[in-house]
Amino acid sequence: MPRDPQYDILFESIKFGPKTARNRFFQTAHCAGPGSERPGAQAAFRGTKAEGGWAVVFTEYCSIHPESDEYPYTSARLWDEGDVRNLGHMCDVAHGHGSLAGVQLWYSGGHAPCLESREIGRSPTQFQSNMFATRTVYGSEMDESDIRSVITMYVEAGRRAEQAGFDLLEVSAGDDTVPIQFLEPRYNQRTDRYGGSLENRARFILEVLTALKRNFGARCAITARFEMDTLHGPEGVEAHGDGLKLLELFRREGVVDLVSLKIGDYAEWGEDAGASRFRKSGWVTPFIRQGKAVLGPDIAVVGNGRFTSPDDMVKLVRGRVLDFIGAARPSIADPFLPKKIEEGRPEDIRECIGCNICVSKFNQVGQIMCTQNQTVGEEYRRGWHPERFAPTLQKCSVLVIGAGPAGMECARVLGERGYVVHLREAQSELGGHWRWVTRLPRLTEWERVISYRRTQLQKLRKVAVHLGVGRMSAAEALSYGADRIVVATGAHWRGDGAGPGCGAIPGADASLPHCLTPEQLMSGKAIAGKRVLVLDAEGHFVGISIAEMLADQGREVTYVCDASEVAEYGVFTLEAANNKRMLFEKKIRTYRNHWLSGIAPGRVTLTYLYRFGADLLEPRAGALPRRDNGGDFELDIDAVVLVTSRASDDALYRELKARRHEWAKNEVQDVYRIGDCKAPMQVGQAMWEGHRLAREFDSPHPQWPLPWIRERQLWGNETVPKLGDARPRVEGD
Amino acid sequence: MPRDPQYDILFESIKFGPKTARNRFFQTAHCAGPGSERPGAQAAFRGTKAEGGWAVVFTEYCSIHPESDEYPYTSARLWDEGDVRNLGHMCDVAHGHGSLAGVQLWYSGGHAPCLESREIGRSPTQFQSNMFATRTVYGSEMDESDIRSVITMYVEAGRRAEQAGFDLLEVSAGDDTVPIQFLEPRYNQRTDRYGGSLENRARFILEVLTALKRNFGARCAITARFEMDTLHGPEGVEAHGDGLKLLELFRREGVVDLVSLKIGDYAEWGEDAGASRFRKSGWVTPFIRQGKAVLGPDIAVVGNGRFTSPDDMVKLVRGRVLDFIGAARPSIADPFLPKKIEEGRPEDIRECIGCNICVSKFNQVGQIMCTQNQTVGEEYRRGWHPERFAPTLQKCSVLVIGAGPAGMECARVLGERGYVVHLREAQSELGGHWRWVTRLPRLTEWERVISYRRTQLQKLRKVAVHLGVGRMSAAEALSYGADRIVVATGAHWRGDGAGPGCGAIPGADASLPHCLTPEQLMSGKAIAGKRVLVLDAEGHFVGISIAEMLADQGREVTYVCDASEVAEYGVFTLEAANNKRMLFEKKIRTYRNHWLSGIAPGRVTLTYLYRFGADLLEPRAGALPRRDNGGDFELDIDAVVLVTSRASDDALYRELKARRHEWAKNEVQDVYRIGDCKAPMQVGQAMWEGHRLAREFDSPHPQWPLPWIRERQLWGNETVPKLGDARPRVEGD
């Protein structure tokens, strides 16, 4: 189907500097990529987006020099010829799909922990890093020769970038990198010509851009990623202060071809990559609109805001808010977003839900994951394409039991591959437990997990969805007539308070009126009384969201967690700061590093987890070899919500496996399980399991994953650099 | 010099199973190694220890299967032929030095986050992991076919280990791995023949060891690393309960040739790798002695305890506490520890100080670092040997200004390389700020940083140490007569309360009686009054140690930190749990996520760092676009110790650099700086800087580090596995 003409404006080609982008879809630099260390993964990850219609694809932030080494966090790097070779492959693949390749030049001197290089970054003034405070990082204060050296680092990295084939050289002036450190009074207390007035504080970024323009401007676009507001008040950059004034300087000096705008420094990264629990699509627009107004028509502006709706995008372009639709997360959730608009099938877009699992995996230094897109990060190492599926060579019928996230995704991919699938769900709607999750405060966008799959399942002719069929017994499943059975029956929250590494809590029993599991609460079990305690060992979104929901209902809420951080996973998803702000604002009483040692009607006992002495005593039986310093205390509480741990609903699977002797006579070839019914897991992982099983359904032993390509050094292969290589000379003297 | 005959017993060769170790020095498996991913680094790291006299060298913990993937934490892996090739190189190097190579087979099913493999581990009973709670990890509960599969995983990994050349196949039964999960009631609630009685709970580990013995016992030693006490009381394994009983079973069943004993599960890792702030050398001995008594003479016992004194070691062997001196950290601090005893020069041993910086780098997923040994991790990638130094080809005289840790280390290495060195120190003793650090509670061992270097400097004929010479001026330095000058003048704590990412605190001024810096406190500045507040943004050992010291003096101490965790770096050094226990036991009032917004005599104002609302308001100038929910409060406090941030003492360096035009006439060729006077840093990093400069002192531009070998995939090189490779078959059906 041809695209809707109202979207034509999104597909106009745009020229900036010496380059022309074929449309307005611009994948801004974003993390959780494979850097320069895994070249196959990097090229396939970014290349898939180029194939899917993104006119510009970027690396993640790219370190220009070993002084800016944030290992183990994965940046790209342009340090040596090895990086040119590795990132060059990405450029080749992007160009092959008609897209431009961009690289974000990054120097975070004074913040970089340099845990691999052991170097020391340079900063405008010396300060202790708040970005990596736990790494005890300080920079060395630059003199003018240091400033020249760092500018040379940008130029040298630019040279390697051009050699690799990059079309856009973007300077990061945000996220606490050195260009914005010079702008911020909190980081720049210099008294020379690089400190004091805005003109002086802007000198560094303008000199860097001018140097890049002079050296590469004829062949590469020179661009900036600029943080209009660091969200630190007058000690940082404020949009209505230096932010807009710097953009005015950019315009006047003519040093950039394009500017990509953002807000929020590293500490406020959660305001840049806003999670849907706190920010709705377009929250940055008030800032971007003002930035574009200052930059004028000649400098192209890229703006992000978790945009997934083509109608929203058109409005932004027509409203002259921006020239390019910037996207990080939406391009992860759907690398083919532009192509789906172009092909007139916007209903096929897998919309980002803003859960920030992708960012969390960067922060955990793990393989990237996306709740919506199970192929992300698997393009090269497992050869998975988000939109193409190998037709099965062993056609057969499959019964998928349970239409929660894992079951839906498995059925979808099996359907794409040509299997005959019956997806059967006990309840009357698709989604399983995810249906109540989306009713937690501000999680409505998370419903897209269900709606995308509903649409796709409807389109697949060989997939039949049976809703409201009640729980299947093992006998029913065996005699159903399917060749193969996939069990996806999920999990439930435990009602006995058993948490990580500890047993049930005395008195915890969700069959009693004053104890509730999350499911019970969300399906209407009444709370008698005003004083509610939420016990959270999940540490992600369930406990904290329930605490907020109950506070919004006017209850007196107490939140207790075992960890040192409330809703600890929020550190990874960038929600930690706003979680704490929310608890304080909503007056939710909080205990960290505590647990319940007893629950009785109207009363609970709290225990401090570190009440034992630090000394180790002689070993003895029946007690810890430590001094018990006591200190338990009681609180008057009317009800406790037990967000402690989950347990698989695996009875059906276990019965089917125990009745293996009946398979042959029922012509059942095999039985598998996926997702929470195997082990409770993050929803993205559960769907990945469903997807993976379907992708490998004709492998010899599909329950178990096949090997993947591990990109790493193999002994005997060449290395770059080699011992004795010279240091690229950036120092002037 | 020949070795002291009283140490002969340490050099007896010991037979266990089919193998014989040439002496009693046994490097137990330990982390912060390069795993199977960086084969050159791994072989050189372990190989250097073999060269230095360790009869047995191990990998770090080694995952036997992708279901036990703890990425990004670096384990070794024996998953495929690529791992055989990479670890095979390590075995070759160890054998070349006459040592045995060991591998610790590790399966942590149910705890492994599998952030690279995306697989799901299997566990005796389903539980939420307390080891990686923030990763939201659960295992799938094993049935008997799963148990057979996991045993097969051990055997398959054993096969690859033998192929790589390993001599010892050690099964980890500790650190929450599956063998000890089966033993622990908190993890094992099974009702089949693998749960219930000790005999049942021990079945798994015995079956694993039996399978390895049967398959490889004729050619490899089969050993176990067993946790005698998990330190979790009756819910775990207690030494005086199942711990000793299991050792009795080991003896009776004859399934192991050697047992290496430990205490403390992952949550209590700080009791295994005890930091010197809480544990003195030999703290595990009461446990090991009892274990050896049960195991008897026929099963060799390895015991650790941060042993560095050969006299202590002899006592342990003669006292039949153990057969092998196990060591992890002492072998990192000095890979040549055995050789130095053998060669009759025990005074040259670089003794481990128990600071746990090595472990902290594993926990940060960084390059390993050792405060005492700057060459660690650099053996391959920079070609550094801990005991060999390239003689300089450009002999000249060097003035090193400042005999703190960085200056001492630089002078030492310059001396080893044949330079004429004058090391000049203003104070009357070596050590700089490290002298007062060692007077903090229980940090006396840290004095070894100074004493080792004092001994070495005394041995170097071309190094002259001048103490008590007062501060040098730039003029004195220039006219001193040295060809080259190294400035190592250190840093000091700021007196204005400026912390990470924030400016000075109103009222903070260390020239006033009620404000103190750490140096002022440690050099005797008096505190008037009983109520002291320690403001800690350093987050490592200074703030928390001062708080403890003041509490021990009988003061009422309040500890305030900006982080969510007290002394946050202690999470990395394994001190976090005992830090919290200490604060509770010593009744130190604690505020986390707070900062001081004002200091006045007798009174301070605290502010909660998350008092602003979670919503983002319209941008405006001069204020945060957030709602201020207030809530500051005051405390009556007599004195504040400001452990907020440090500043380099770089005035001399800057003046020397500014007077560059005077260098030639003074025949000064160049001026360098190292350590804290460049930027405040961890002491190990400061000494690394001094070491590095001296190693590369004849490079073209020695202030700046040379490139090193980056072991990684280069595009175009082969990979293992390849797409389409089969999964190694471990499932039985």
Token digits of residue A302: 């890229």
Residue B623 has pLDDT above 90, yes or no: no
In the DSSP assignment, the letter for residue A128 is: B
- Inter-chain CB proximity A706 and B726 less than 8 Å: yes
A69, amino acid identity: D
Question: Each residue of B458-500: pLDDT tens digit?
Answer: 999 999 999 999 999 999 999 999 999 999 999 999 999 999 8
Q: How confident is the model at residue A561 (pLDDT cuts 50, 70, 90)?
A: very high
Q: Is B572 on the interface with A (CB under 8 A)?
A: yes
Instruction: Give the SS3 label for residue B57.
Output: strand
Question: Each residue of A75-94: pLDDT tens digit?
Answer: 999 999 999 999 999 999 99
Mean pLDDT calculated for residue range A4-24? 98
Residue A733 is predicted with a pLDDT of 53
Token digits of residue A624: 């810890």
First-last CA distance in chain B:
63
Q: Where is average pLDDT lowest: B124-138, B215-229, B268-282, B674-688?
A: B124-138
Residue B143 has pLDDT above 60, yes or no: yes
Mean pLDDT calculated for residue range A122-148? 91
CA B45 → CA A526, A714, B49, B335, B376, distances in Å? 62, 17, 7, 9, 7
Residue B133 is predicted with a pLDDT of 67
Residue A723 is predicted with a pLDDT of 87
Q: Are A479 and A436 in contact (CB under 8 A)?
A: no
State the Cα–Cα distance between residues B430 and B453, nearest whole angstrom. Answer: 9
Give B-chain residues touching A290 at CB under 8 angstroms. Answer: 619
Residue A109 has pLDDT above 80, yes or no: yes
First-last CA distance in chain A:
63
Mean pLDDT calculated for residue range B115-120? 96
- Inter-chain CB proximity B725 and A706 less than 8 Å: yes
Residue B596 is predicted with a pLDDT of 98
A217, amino acid identity: G
With the CA atoms of B508, B511, B515 and B518 taken in that order, what torsion angle do they form, in degrees rounded to the nearest 10?
110
Q: Which of residues 681-710 of B touch A (CB under 8 A)?
A: 681-682, 685, 688-689, 692, 699-701, 703-710
Q: How confident is the model at residue B584 (pLDDT cuts 50, 70, 90)?
A: very high
Question: How many C-beta atoms lie closer than 10 Å to residue B389's C-beta?
Answer: 17
Encode B193-241 in three state secondary structure.
CCCCCHHHHCHHHHHHHHHHHHHHCCCCEEEEEEEEECCCHHHCCCHHH
- Inter-chain CB proximity B714 and A709 less than 8 Å: no
In the DSSP assignment, the letter for residue A24 is: S
Question: Each residue of A564-589: pLDDT tens digit?
Answer: 999 999 999 999 999 999 999 999 99
- Residue B537: CA atoms inside 13 Å, Cβ hemisphere, count? 29
Q: Which of residues 521-550 of A touch B (CB under 8 A)?
A: 537-540
Q: How confident is the model at residue A398 (pLDDT cuts 50, 70, 90)?
A: very high
Instruction: Give the SS3 label for residue B596.
Output: strand
State the Cα–Cα distance between residues A139 and A157, nearest whole angstrom. Answer: 21
Question: Each residue of A232-245: pLDDT tens digit?
Answer: 999 999 999 999 99
Burial class (CB in 10 A: 0-12, 13-18, 19+), A143: middle
Question: Can you say whether the dihedral through the CA atoms of A610, A613, A618, A622 is positive or negative?
Answer: negative
Least Cα distance to A493 among A513, A522, A469 occurs for A522
The reply to whether the predicted model has a pTM over 0.90 is: yes
Q: Where is average pLDDT lowest: A350-359, B499-508, B509-518?
A: B499-508
Percent of chain B with pLDDT over 70: 99
**Strand locations in A394-505 (E):** 397-401, 420-424, 463-466, 484-487, 491-493
Q: Among A393-397, B107-111, B690-694, which range has the highest average pLDDT? A: B690-694
Q: Is B392 on the interface with A (CB under 8 A)?
A: no
The residue of A111, A712, A729 whose CB has the most chain B CBs within 10 angstroms, and thus the best one to mutate to test that interface, is A712
Give B-chain residues touching A618 at CB under 8 angstroms. Answer: 286
Give B-chain residues touching A361 at CB under 8 angstroms. Answer: 115
DSSP A209-256: HHHHHHHHTTTSEEEEEEEEE-SSGGGS--IIIIIHHHHHHHHHHT--
B576 backbone dihedrals φ, ψ, rounded to 5°: -60, -45
Q: By CA distance, what is A122's nearest residue in B?
A: B679
Q: By CA distance, what is B678's nearest residue in A?
A: A140
Q: Is A608 on the interface with B (CB under 8 A)?
A: yes
Q: By CA distance, what is B707's nearest residue in A?
A: A727
Q: By CA distance, what is A382's nearest residue in B?
A: B723
Mean pLDDT calculated for residue range A381-410? 97
Q: Name the one residue in this structure whose structure tokens are 């003074």.
A: B666
Give A-chain residues touching B729 at CB under 8 angstroms. Answer: 701
Mean pLDDT for all residues in chain A: 96
State the Cα–Cα distance between residues B584 and B571, nearest whole angstrom. Answer: 17
Q: Which of residues 248-277 of B touch A (CB under 8 A)?
A: 267, 271
Residue A36 is predicted with a pLDDT of 96
Question: How many C-beta atoms lie closer than 10 Å to residue A234's C-beta?
Answer: 14
Q: Which of residues 27-86 of B touch A (CB under 8 A)?
A: 36-40, 43, 66, 71-72, 79-80, 82, 85-86
Q: Are B151 and B194 in contact (CB under 8 A)?
A: no
Give B-chain residues touching A699 at CB under 8 angstroms. Answer: 727
Closest by Cβ to B240, choosing from A621, A700, A722: A621
The residue of B46, B85, B134, B141 whose CB has the most chain A CBs within 10 angstroms, and thus the best one to mutate to test that interface, is B134
Residue A192 has pLDDT above 80, yes or no: yes
Question: Each residue of A28-85: pLDDT tens digit?
Answer: 999 998 999 999 999 999 999 999 999 999 999 999 999 999 999 999 999 999 999 9
- Establish, for the pair of chains A and B, how many residue pairs have beta carbons separated by less than 8 Å: 426
The residue of B37, B75, B80, B128 whose CB has the most chain A CBs within 10 angstroms, and thus the best one to mutate to test that interface, is B128
Q: Which of residues 437-456 of B touch A (CB under 8 A)?
A: none
Q: Is A492 on the interface with B (CB under 8 A)?
A: no
Give B-chain residues touching A279 at CB under 8 angstroms. Answer: 616
Contacts of A652 (CB under 8 A, 6+ apart): A401, A471, A472, A473, A474, A477, A487, A489, A677
Least Cα distance to A23 among A491, A498, A342, A496 occurs for A342
Q: Which of residues 7-26 of A touch B (CB under 8 A)?
A: none
Residue A728 is predicted with a pLDDT of 79
DSSP B693-730: HHHTTTSSSTTSPPP----S--TTS--SS-TTPPPP--
Q: Is A488 on the interface with B (CB under 8 A)?
A: no
Shortest Cα distance, chain A CAs vs residue B12, angstroms: 32
State the Cα–Cα distance between residues A693 and A706, nearest whole angstrom. Answer: 10
Least Cα distance to A705 among B725, B139, B155, B80 occurs for B725
CA angle, residues B291, B204, A693, in degrees to nearest 5: 140
State the Cα–Cα distance between residues B332 and B349, nearest whole angstrom. Answer: 12
Question: Each residue of B662-700: pLDDT tens digit?
Answer: 999 999 999 999 999 999 999 999 999 999 999 999 999
CA A95 → CA A46, A58, A328, A383, A658, distances in Å? 11, 12, 19, 20, 54
Give B-chain residues touching A92 at CB under 8 angstroms. Answer: none
Q: How confident is the model at residue B733 (pLDDT cuts 50, 70, 90)?
A: low
State the Cα–Cα distance between residues A733 and A149, nearest whole angstrom. Answer: 9
Q: By CA distance, what is B113's nearest residue in A?
A: A366
